[in-house]
Amino acid sequence: MTPAARAQAAIDLLDEVIGAARDGGPAADTLIARYFKTRRYAGSKDRKAVRDLVYDAIRRAGERPESGRSALLGLARDQPDLAACFDGSPHGPAPIADNEPVAEARPLPKWILPRLAPLIDRAEQAALLDRAPLDIRVNRLKATMDMARAAFPDAMPIEGLPDALRLPEGFPLDRSDAWDQGLVEVQDAGSQIIAAICEVQPGMTVIDLCAGAGGKTLALAADMAGQGVLIAADTVRSRLQRLAPRAERAGAGFIQTLLLDPGREASALGNHEGKTDVVLVDAPCSGTGTWRRNPEARWRLTPDRLARLVQEQARILDIAAPLVRDGGRLVYAVCALTDAEGRGQVDAFLARHPGWRAMPQATPPGRLWGHGRLLSPRHDGTDGFFLAVLEKS
Ligand SMILES: C[S@@+](CC[C@H](N)C(=O)[O-])C[C@H]1O[C@@H](n2cnc3c(N)ncnc32)[C@H](O)[C@@H]1O
């Protein structure tokens, strides 16, 4: 493909990504994979170049652009070589006309700014779109840190996290034997911190109430050394189904999965009422803290959707609270940096549930924020999270 043809392919793909973000369609990665499946003439260098253009244009535009062309024209403003591709050649984009709409360069949508925790200043906001590192967790059910260091000699330890390593950018982890054999798991340092503050022990009864595909469940399983009761619950069957093979690979076969009926979660969890040592609520959220991994998610979130998420988080917290035994803990986490989902959500929980208290937070990592703690890419080198530990007294 010529550089101009690559630019046109990026425009076509960006049109699809914008449409999918508006209408709740597939993720950008899925659209890119589909696009190239039907265009076998594109070689690996073409694919990489087009993909980079698409993601650079997405990262640059905090607001959803009106078209793929306006998104790429925005990028072309910063890249003269790309601007030169708008040359009207047979497979390339038409020449740039006067007064064409051009996507504005800004890291975040304007409407979200007043909703972010004030700790997230302008430099922090820009860092929410930086490239994310590749962190792994040594799976203590199968390996030791020494084994992992031998398998990944270029990996760097992460301060404060005894099982965490950071790999060099672009490291082909999926081609390593250590990963294939379940000695390590891909897991952002922030997620590892959340599993650690659960302070689960072998023999406990633990529920991961919003387990998804089980990233944090697997970390809890390692802390429990495979002993006790660990239930991974979620309302989405396809996510829970992805956990089973991961658990097998990780040597965590004792994990039980529980599919919940949305709106009737409490009935499936009734047996555990008042008996659970730790309930983790890693709630569905705006994902503001992980926009560096899913930058097009900025184009999907709306004020209405955020309001619905806040309501749903409160409802899930109210389902979780009765499950916890006296003296047990409820750990609340969101990969979000809006106050309504974090600090405000926990304040509202404590106001609704007088028998509960927030546990004092040690520093660092992260910064104390309300009754919890805030982690952010710029301050902590992790994805952005709010987390709080609540105790039933
Ligand atoms: C942030 S994700 C969890 C990620 C997961 N804990 C991990 O570490 O990979 C939130 C999850 O909550 C689930 N969820 C949404 N509503 C729920 C509900 N009412 N009860 C339980 N899970 C729910 C979603 O399906 C999604 O998998």
Nearest CA to ligand 1 atom 27: 212
Q: Is 212 in the pocket of ligand 1 (CB under 6 A)?
A: yes
pLDDT value at 79 more than 90: yes
pLDDT value at 137 more than 70: yes
The helix or strand, by DSSP H or E, that contains position 167, with its residue range, turns out to be: strand 161-167
Q: Please answer whether residues 336 and 384 qualify as being in contact, where contact means their C-beta atoms are separated by less than 8 angstroms.
A: yes
CA atoms within 13 A on the CB side of 301: 29
CATH topology of domain 133-187: Alpha-Beta Plaits (3.30.70)
Q: Is 317 in the pocket of ligand 1 (CB under 6 A)?
A: no
Span from the CA of 195 to the centroid of ligand 1 (angstroms): 15
78 is in an annotated binding site: no
- Read off the tokens for 13: 């793909």
Q: What is the mean pLDDT of residues 96-103?
A: 94
Q: What is the pLDDT of residue 15?
A: 98
Question: Which of 51-55, 360-364, 386-390 shows the lowest mean pLDDT across its residues?
Answer: 360-364
Q: Is 258 in the pocket of ligand 1 (CB under 6 A)?
A: no
Q: What is the mean pLDDT of residues 330-346?
A: 98
Nearest CA to ligand 1 atom 9: 215
> How far is the first Cα of the chain from the last one, in angstroms, to the nearest whole number?
65
Question: Do 133-187 and 197-392 share a fold?
Answer: no
Please tell us whether the domain made up of 197-392 is placed in CATH 3.40.50.150. yes
Nearest CA to ligand 1 atom 10: 284
Span from the CA of 87 to the centroid of ligand 1 (angstroms): 47
Span from the CA of 207 to the centroid of ligand 1 (angstroms): 12
261 is in an annotated binding site: yes
Our answer to whether residue 285 is catalytic in this structure is no
User: What's the mean per-residue pLDDT of the chain?
Assistant: 96
CA distances from 331 to 37, 146, 171, 246, 346 (A): 43, 30, 32, 23, 11
Q: What is the pLDDT of residue 93?
A: 97
Q: Please answer whether residues 166 and 135 qualify as being in contact, where contact means their C-beta atoms are separated by less than 8 angstroms.
A: yes
Please report which confidence band the pLDDT of residue 42 belongs to, taking 50, 70 and 90 as the band edges: confident
Distance CA 249, CA 259 (A): 21
Please report which confidence band the pLDDT of residue 204 belongs to, taking 50, 70 and 90 as the band edges: very high
Q: Is 265 in the pocket of ligand 1 (CB under 6 A)?
A: yes
Active-site option among 85, 198, 210, 335: 335
Q: Is 209 in the pocket of ligand 1 (CB under 6 A)?
A: yes
Neighbours of 281 (CB within 10 A): 23
pLDDT tens digits, one per residue of 220-269:
999 999 999 999 999 999 999 999 999 999 999 999 999 999 999 999 99
Q: What is the mean pLDDT of residues 316-337?
A: 98
Please report which confidence band the pLDDT of residue 26 belongs to, taking 50, 70 and 90 as the band edges: very high
Cis peptide before 365 (omega within 30 of 0): yes
pLDDT value at 36 more than 80: yes
Q: What is the mean pLDDT of residues 349-369?
A: 90
Span from the CA of 281 to the centroid of ligand 1 (angstroms): 8
- Read off the tokens for 225: 């050394």
Q: Domain boundaries in the chain?
A: 3-106, 133-187, 197-392
188 is in an annotated binding site: no
Span from the CA of 315 to the centroid of ligand 1 (angstroms): 13
Nearest CA to ligand 1 atom 26: 212
Q: What is the pLDDT of residue 363?
A: 64
Ligand 1 atom nearest to 209, measured from its CA: 21
Percentage, residues of the chain above pLDDT 90: 94
Q: Is 198 in the pocket of ligand 1 (CB under 6 A)?
A: no
Nearest CA to ligand 1 atom 4: 212
Alpha-carbon Rg for the chain, nearest whole angstrom, is 22
Q: What is the pLDDT of residue 365?
A: 86
